[in-house]
Amino acid sequence: MKELEKPGDEESMRQALLAANCADGNAEFAADTHSFDDAATSEGCGVAEIAMTGGMAAYAAGTDPAAQADAEDLFEDYNLQRPLSSLIIKHEWIKDRHAHRRAQLLLSVRGMITCEVASGLWLVPSQSALWIPPGITHSVRCVRGVEIYLLFVDADMVATLPAHCCTLAVTPLLRELVRAVANLPPMYDQAGTAAPLIETMMNELHEAPIERLHLPMPVDPRLRGVVDGWSVDPADRTKLGGWAQRIGMSERSLSRLIQRETGMSFVRWRQQFQVMQALEQLERGIPVQTIAFDLGYESPSAFIAMFRKVLGASPNRYLARRETPVQS
């Protein structure tokens, strides 16, 4: 795998990409340079050590804005000669709203991924994966010591996979398959050993269960106001009737609106918000007792009971499942 030195400007990045692709014997790929000029830049994000397969093996950017051309967008434009390609991200990574022509799988080995689309918010803790179908506009945030394996997959390969964003539970086998595929050579031999490896990974991915780590985001601005209120004060325990008075609706009408837009009851929707808040804090090492009180629970046991009801395990047991040693 080649290493690309830190570029000083866009032209040097262009030339390095062309050289890398030409060195791989991919003259047609290297000749297509039009998409580089449209590549987005990362705003306010010192992306560093983004390792890549497919022409550009590693891109390191510091704080110089001229050196922060968005490696992901550049990479996708320049690596269309294989049906699957990858990035390996090991530092803070923030992407504003965008979409891809290919499907994406983001596996978190370390750190939390937060992804937002129009219909909701997804959290992806370590040892889970986020599935994003082709063409879905989304934003992504990965912070605090992450290790993320990101695969771009042609639409022809994902017909049997979910047509909506979702968080997937990842077995140790699937995790290692994704890591192995992410480390394939740029122009891997499609008739060689890569083919059964990718096929096995896709089969395992098809069997991966969907986790309940999604907060539905309503379209109605009145319900958006409820989420905004919880975000400002997570300990707010106002009941359905109280929110109905604030919004100016009857309790029954509000209940029906929430069910229609989120697919959940008011209580279940609030619990899902609290679980999402709790997971972010647990990933940062905040004690369960502190989280319970921050979310307005009178006792840690009440919070643990709610957490277990939603995710099937206590907070500590849930985290313990995700601490499987990872071989470097």
80 and 37 together in one domain: yes
Which distant-in-sequence residues (6+ apart) come within 8 Å of 75 by Cβ?
52, 54, 55, 56, 85, 87
Q: What pLDDT, on a 0 to 100 scale, did the predictor assign at position 40?
A: 32
Task: Give the orientation angle of helix 266-283 with respect to helix 251-262, to 10 degrees.
Answer: 60
* Nearest C-alpha neighbor of 149 from the set 180, 179, 194: 179
Dist. CA 106–CA 19, nearest whole Å: 28
Dist. CA 34–CA 31, nearest whole Å: 9
- Domain contains 182: yes
Structure tokens belonging to residue 141 = 């945030």
289 and 198 together in one domain: no
Count structural domains, the chain.
Answer: 2
146 and 54 together in one domain: yes
Q: What pLDDT, on a 0 to 100 scale, did the predictor assign at position 186?
A: 77
- Give, in order, the Cα–Cα distances in Å from 88 to each of 91, 98, 169, 293: 10, 19, 19, 37
- Domain contains 234: yes
- Domain contains 265: yes
Q: What pLDDT, on a 0 to 100 scale, did the predictor assign at position 73?
A: 53
Mean pLDDT by 10 residues, the chain (328 residues): 32 43 39 29 33 35 37 52 89 88 92 87 88 92 86 92 92 95 90 94 94 90 94 94 96 97 96 92 91 96 96 90 60
The distance between the two most distant Cα atoms of the chain, rounded to a whole number of Å, is 68
CATH number for position 59: 2.60.120.280
Question: How far out from the chain centre does Cα 254 lie?
Answer: 31
Residue 106 and residue 123 in contact, taking contact as beta carbons nearer than 8 Å: no
- Domain contains 2: no
- Output DSSP code: residue 7: P
CATH number for position 233: 1.10.10.60
Q: What pLDDT, on a 0 to 100 scale, did the predictor assign at position 118?
A: 82
Q: What pLDDT, on a 0 to 100 scale, did the predictor assign at position 50?
A: 40
Which distant-in-sequence residues (6+ apart) come within 8 Å of 328 by Cβ?
none
Range of the domain at 277: 218-320
290 and 150 together in one domain: no
121 and 189 together in one domain: yes
Look up the pTM and report it.
Answer: 0.71
- Domain contains 328: no
171 and 264 together in one domain: no
232 and 199 together in one domain: no
Q: What pLDDT, on a 0 to 100 scale, did the predictor assign at position 52?
A: 42
Q: Which of 165, 186, 211 is the last residue of a domain?
A: 211
- Domain contains 201: yes
